[in-house]
Chain A
């Protein structure tokens, strides 16, 4: 449970409860059918508070085989986080035809393996990105699109965007440019494939191993942290 030290966490909770907690997330009591009082703590009761575990890769040829399959079947979460997402639809057009490479869009994080962060990331969006990323299943890969995800790009001094994406979630492949063309993205996919096949794309486990550091970074940016520490 304790990700940072305990005092800080408690303070954190108090602050969020005081300022940012939405009414439906506040602790309250309801009356049951038999007239009994039931205490409800939405953040703890509605969400699983288990800590995620590192899922060790298989050994040897089995893992290689699986990695091949993972690399040849990249299901991308259809979530356009920034302006770079305009470059994604052409990927599936006859001209670029990403299907050739086993790339496909999936509408739900549960079924997707690849998360493309397409450009600058507003703090508001970061929260959604973290949720969606955590809801994806291990193994999962992140492709960061454009300069904004590397160093903030033209928004490097913005009050509202993050500068370095890999402070918040592990990134497997960066594709530079503002914005990168679809060809560049395809090339990025191929780089990712190589990485997977080599067994080096273990971002999901890395995230769990260094969860405390990631969480600290995330919470530094996101003031209204009104969700559980890990979104299953």
Chain B
């Protein structure tokens, strides 16, 4: 019974996150449009796109891995969701976070990436592989500031459990990691830019050069799954950063607000800055952000 209740809440949480993800991307698109003096899409356009993609009648498949790729991808997204505590202090909204800690989430992110890479690879399209090679290469550098930040906060809070990290930040903005460990926050937020795939780190999915990179052969239901995953992943990654650096959330309202703001940060930067090539972004990420991350650790161990 306990388990059924748990699963029920997990599915409910997933439903909320998915919808919030879709709406959030609509809102963001709307904001971008307004910045460009346009009316822009309808806020619910992402829903329509999703339904349309699921309604495509014919599909082709390049092979078993092409088929499994989106499954891996969505598993990766939902998996991160499953291992993430959503609302502080709520046993029910903590999902399955009792099975693993921060490291589990950090490494489970690779699960979806790997699946996507394999599926796209099976497609046999060279552009997919080019996109993936860029994505993976850039990812190594993106991950480095985040690793430094994670270690820094692990030293700070002496735990790797996300729930405990959130608990330690309760009691006002002065207890947030943002305030107590600003360097780690900065390093991690730069890393977040890369993880979200907006400019300046969007060369992975260069739309015209390598027609949107890895998913270039995906369509219909496959694409629908990828879009679903994207909606979930964007929110849940934002929730991760929110939990680690911005005090977590004690109710859904705060979660939605904070995750929006965290995600908006990447959109904001994306609108302002042009695109890096991979061989430019990697050295850049390995210089300043890593330095900031090192300072974040060094300040704690001195």
- Note whether A and B contact each other (Cβ less than 8 A): yes
- Which chain A residue shows the least CB distance to B215? A111
Docked-complex contact A94 and B37, CB < 8 angstroms: yes
Docked-complex contact B40 and A97, CB < 8 angstroms: yes
Residue B42 is within 8 A (CB to CB) of chain A in the complex: yes
Contact A110/B57 with A73-B48, A94-B37 known, Cβ cut-off 8 Å: no
- Which chain B residue shows the least CB distance to A99? B41
| Docked pose: A219 CA to B50 CA in angstroms | 37
Docked-complex contact B40 and A138, CB < 8 angstroms: no
Distance in angstroms from B230 CB to nearest chain A CB is 14
Distance in angstroms from A107 CB to nearest chain B CB is 4
Contact A100/B218 with A78-B208, A137-B59 known, Cβ cut-off 8 Å: no
Distance in angstroms from B139 CB to nearest chain A CB is 22
| Docked pose: A55 CA to B220 CA in angstroms | 14
- From A52, A55, A66, A111, residue with most partner B Cβ within 10 Å: A111
List residues 129-147 of chain A with CB under 8 A from any CB of chain B.
137-139
Contact A111/B40 with A69-B52, A99-B33, A138-B56 known, Cβ cut-off 8 Å: no
Count class of interface residues, chain B = 20 to 34
Contact with B along A196-232 (1 / 0, CB 8 A): 0000000010000000000000000000000000001
With a cutoff of 8 Å between Cβ atoms, the chain A residues found around residue B41 in the complex are: 99-100, 102
| Docked pose: A100 CA to B51 CA in angstroms | 18
List residues 208-242 of chain B with CB under 8 A from any CB of chain A.
208, 211-212, 216-220, 223
Contact with A along B25-56 (1 / 0, CB 8 A): 00000000100111111100100110110011
Residue B58 is within 8 A (CB to CB) of chain A in the complex: yes
Docked-complex contact A139 and B208, CB < 8 angstroms: no
Docked-complex contact B42 and A102, CB < 8 angstroms: yes
Residue A72 is within 8 A (CB to CB) of chain B in the complex: yes
A-B contacts counted at CB < 8 A amount to 82
| Docked pose: A221 CA to B36 CA in angstroms | 45
Residue A158 is within 8 A (CB to CB) of chain B in the complex: no
Contact A137/B58 with A73-B45, A102-B45 known, Cβ cut-off 8 Å: yes
Residue A2 is within 8 A (CB to CB) of chain B in the complex: no
Main secondary structure on chain A at its contact with chain B?
loop
| Docked pose: A52 CA to B60 CA in angstroms | 11
With a cutoff of 8 Å between Cβ atoms, the chain A residues found around residue B56 in the complex are: 137-139
Docked-complex contact B40 and A66, CB < 8 angstroms: no
Docked-complex contact A94 and B51, CB < 8 angstroms: no
Contact with B along A98-110 (1 / 0, CB 8 A): 0110100011101
Residue B207 is within 8 A (CB to CB) of chain A in the complex: yes
Residue A195 is within 8 A (CB to CB) of chain B in the complex: no
Distance in angstroms from B38 CB to nearest chain A CB is 4
Docked-complex contact A108 and B48, CB < 8 angstroms: no
| Docked pose: A52 CA to B59 CA in angstroms | 11
List residues 66-106 of chain A with CB under 8 A from any CB of chain B.
66, 69-70, 72-73, 75, 78, 94, 97, 99-100, 102, 106
Docked-complex contact B38 and A99, CB < 8 angstroms: yes
Docked-complex contact B59 and A94, CB < 8 angstroms: no
With a cutoff of 8 Å between Cβ atoms, the chain A residues found around residue B52 in the complex are: 66, 69-70, 72-73, 113
With a cutoff of 8 Å between Cβ atoms, the chain A residues found around residue B55 in the complex are: 66, 69-70
Contact with A along B1-43 (1 / 0, CB 8 A): 0000000000000000000000000000000010011111110
| Docked pose: A25 CA to B159 CA in angstroms | 62
Partner of A94, one of B36, B42, B211, B219: B36
- Which chain A residue shows the least CB distance to B42? A102
Contact with B along A57-68 (1 / 0, CB 8 A): 100000001100
Distance in angstroms from B46 CB to nearest chain A CB is 9
| Docked pose: A73 CA to B48 CA in angstroms | 6
Distance in angstroms from B161 CB to nearest chain A CB is 41
With a cutoff of 8 Å between Cβ atoms, the chain A residues found around residue B37 in the complex are: 94
- From A65, A70, A137, A204, residue with most partner B Cβ within 10 Å: A137
With a cutoff of 8 Å between Cβ atoms, the chain B residues found around residue A57 in the complex are: 57
Contact A55/B58 with A94-B36, A94-B38 known, Cβ cut-off 8 Å: yes
Docked-complex contact A107 and B207, CB < 8 angstroms: yes
Docked-complex contact B51 and A69, CB < 8 angstroms: yes
Contact A108/B216 with A99-B33, A102-B45 known, Cβ cut-off 8 Å: yes
Taking A73-B51, A107-B212 as given, write out 5 further A-B residue pairs in contact, using a Cβ cutoff of 8 Å, ordered by the A residue number.
A72-B45, A75-B49, A78-B208, A99-B41, A110-B218
Nearest first, the 3 A-B pairs at minimum CB distance are A55-B57, A107-B211, A66-B55
Binding site for B on A (CB under 8 A): 48, 52-53, 55, 57, 65-66, 69-70, 72-73, 75, 78, 94, 97, 99-100, 102, 106-108, 110-111, 113, 137-139, 204, 232
